[in-house]
A and B are shown apart, each in its own frame.
Chain A
Amino acid sequence: MTDLELIAIFAGSWIVAAAVWMLLDWAARPKHARFRAKGDRVQRGPLEYRHYRKVRRAEENEEIRLRLTERTGKPTLALRSKRRERVLARHDRPAPEYAIGNSERIGAAAAGKTDEEFWIDLRDSSFDDANKQRLAEGNPPVRYNPITDQDEEMLRTEADTAVWPNSPVDPFAGTEIATSDNTSDDLDAGDIDDATHDDDADHEAVGDEPDDPTLDTDGGAGESPADETDDDDEGDQVTERVVRDLKSLPEAG
């Protein structure tokens, strides 16, 4: 072999060795790793990396949340990213009293009755034996919530009533329907869903129930001929449709 060949073999061996070394080093390095200066390198295992990713994502979410708050002028409550390129923001809005997630005690206990006395006095027709036992011991009843997949205790409100936490909102709270659907065909326009007639619903329902004196508290004084508007025709049509639907129903069960 000539000297040149020897030098070529020597250099080539070192080049191949360096290439193999770099290949092995690349294969052993985790995908999310990036170059860090020697002084910044920290030895982390898989669990530490998972925690680090979580912390970093929370910091990014917080940064975006603050930016959204500044941009929109409304306090942004929460930020959730299902994928890194998709961000969902939730702004503050008045929460109903018993909205989902509001599981804290509402209001202070009413004066004159302790919590134990309140639960002992609570009527219990819906509860099973286990909850009846809890009530007898002065403890709130418990039920399983399939939405949250957790057990939850009943709450005592400031108005001295018992409610379950995470109770949905009643959008028709404060309205009353004079008759029950399946006992009377005399449905009124006020009984049919129409937001424009909300203000008239109770008024018409009371005025049109002459057979039930307990409902006609003002003797029908609130109703006058001027109150009969053109909506009566529409109300009759809607009434007719609802009555027809009820009559065409098959027997349940």
Chain B
Amino acid sequence: MYRQPVHLGQALRIRRQTVSTERNQILNLLVEPDVELVVNGISASAIALHTDRAPAEVDVLVRSNTTDANDVDASNGVVEVAIWNGWTADEIDQGWLGEAGIRVGGTDPLILQCRDGFGTADFADLVVHIEITTPEDDDYAENRAGVTVAAGARAAAGSDAEE
């Protein structure tokens, strides 16, 4: 498991490079309970990106989910995002088993080479590049204020813009 420090309000741009063709690979992210990850209109403290479902490039926003007016320091805090790999075997999402592991390299972008414990230890079952960005998109500005934009509403706004 790897822990990446991130400022609240920043986003992790996760770009998938190589994926094993033998089984579905999973990239899991976790933050502490008073922080949440926002992606695809879903906000949660822990998310799992499956290679057979998630796009090749995903932006994950890290923000605080506290609404207490007294907590004025949370927006400037640094939190740790725990990252670990998983896989799907026999229709079960697995992780933290066998000889699975992550090889960490690079700084910008961060390169994670993951192994699911099957076959040779080439750590090429899942390779991702992770960049830390500061999103300036309007949607993320809303999210920074604590408003979660529903995926359906955003899709409707997008289709209206197309028309």
* A residues adjacent to B (C-beta < 8 A): 68, 72, 78, 80, 86-91, 96, 99-101, 122-128, 143-147, 161-164, 166-177, 180-183, 187, 191-199, 229-231, 242, 245-246, 249, 252-253
A-B contact pairs, 5 of them (CB 8 A): A100-B45, A127-B97, A193-B57, A242-B57, A252-B113
Chain B residue contacts of A174, Cβ below 8 A: 53
Q: Is the CB of B162 within 8 A of A231?
A: yes
- Please classify how large the interface on chain B is, using the bins under 10, 10 to 19, 20 to 34, 35 or more: 35 or more
What is the 8 Å Cβ interface bit string for chain B, positions 46-63, against chain A (1 contact, 0 not)? 111111111111110000
A87, B15: Cβ atoms closer than 8 Å: no
User: In whole angstroms, how far apart are the Cα atoms of A235 and B78 in the complex?
Assistant: 35
Q: Does B110 contact A (CB under 8 A)?
A: no
Flag if B65 contacts A146 (CB, 8 Å): no
Given contacts A89-B68, A147-B30, A171-B40, contact A162 B92 (CB under 8 A): yes
Indicate whether B82 reaches chain A with its CB closer than 8 angstroms.
yes
**Chain A proximity mask over B1-23: 1 for CB below 8 Å, otherwise 0:** 10000000000000111110100
Sample of 12 more A-B contacts, CB < 8 Å, known A168-B30, A197-B155 = A68-B68, A86-B70, A146-B96, A164-B94, A166-B46, A173-B53, A175-B53, A180-B21, A195-B151, A198-B40, A199-B159, A242-B56
Complex alpha-carbon distance, A124 and B155, angstroms: 41
**Given contact pairs A169-B48, A180-B21, A198-B40, A126 touches B97 in the complex (Cβ within 8 A):** yes
Return the CB mask of B64-107 against A: 1 if under 8 Å, else 0. 01111011011000000010000101111111111000000000
Give the residue of B44, B52, B82, B157 whose beta carbon is less than 8 angstroms from that of A176: B52
Tell me which residues across on chain A come within 8 A of B56, comparing CB atoms. 181, 187, 191-193, 242
Q: Is the CB of B71 within 8 A of A88?
A: yes
Which residues from chain A contact B39 at a C-beta distance below 8 Å? Answer: 171
CA separation between A88 and B72, bound complex, in Å? 10
Known A100-B46, A126-B90, A193-B57: A245·B15 in contact at CB below 8 Å: yes
Most buried by B among A88, A127, A229, A245: A88
Contact in complex: B124, A252 (CB < 8 Å) = yes
Q: Which residues of B contact A (CB under 8 A)?
A: 1, 15-19, 21, 28-30, 33-34, 39-42, 44-59, 65-68, 70-71, 73-74, 82, 87, 89-98, 113, 117, 122-124, 127, 139, 151, 154-155, 157-159, 161-162
Q: How far is the CB of A234 from chain B (nearest CB, A)?
A: 10
Distance from A173 Cβ to chain B, minimum over Cβ atoms (Å)? 7
Query: In the complex, A174→B42 CA distance in Å?
Result: 13
Q: Please, which residues of chain B bring their CB within 8 A of the CB of A199?
A: 155, 159
CA distance A100 to B32 in the complex (A): 10
From the candidates A127, A146, A169, name the one contacting B44 in the complex (CB within 8 A).
Answer: A169
**Contacts A124-B90, A164-B93, A168-B47; A192 near B73 (Cβ below 8 A):** no
Within 8 Å by CB of A88, from B55, B66, B92, B139, lies B66
Docked CA distance A123–B54 (Å):
26
Among A87, A170, A230, contact of B70 (Cβ-Cβ < 8 Å): A87
A146-B1, A168-B47, A229-B162 in contact; A125/B90 too (CB < 8 A)?
Answer: yes
Asked if A143 and B97 sit within 8 Å, CB to CB, the answer is yes
Q: Which residues of A contact B154 (CB under 8 A)?
A: 195-196
Closest-by-CB residue of B relative to A191 is B55
Bound form: Cα–Cα A252–B139 in Å = 35
Most chain B Cβ neighbours within 10 Å, of A161, A174, A176, A196 = A196
**A181 in complex: contacting residue of B19, B59, B66, CB < 8 Å:** B19
Asked whether B40 lies within 8 Å of A99 as measured between CB atoms, the reply is no
B97 pairs with A128, CB closer than 8 A: yes
Name B53's contact: one of A125, A168, A177 (CB within 8 Å): A177
